[in-house]
Amino acid sequence: MADVHGRKWDRCLADTAVKTVTGLAVGLVFSVVLFKRRTWPVSLGSGLGLGMGYANCQHDFRSPYLVHGSMVKDQ
HSE-up (13 A, CA, CB side) for residue 65: 0
Burial class (CB within 10 angstroms; exposed 0-12, middle 13-18, buried 19+) of 42: buried
- pLDDT of res. 47: 92
- Asked whether residue 1 carries a pLDDT value surpassing 70, the answer given is no
The pTM for the full model equals 0.73
Q: How far apart are alpha carbons 58 and 45 in whole angstroms?
A: 20
- Asked whether residue 72 carries a pLDDT value surpassing 80, the answer given is no
3-state secondary structure of 37: coil
Q: Is residue 28 within 8 Å of 45, Cβ to Cβ?
A: yes
Would you list the domain boundaries of the chain? 36-63
Q: What would the pLDDT profile of 32-53 be if each residue is shown by its tens digit?
A: 998 888 888 889 999 999 999 9
- pLDDT of res. 8: 85
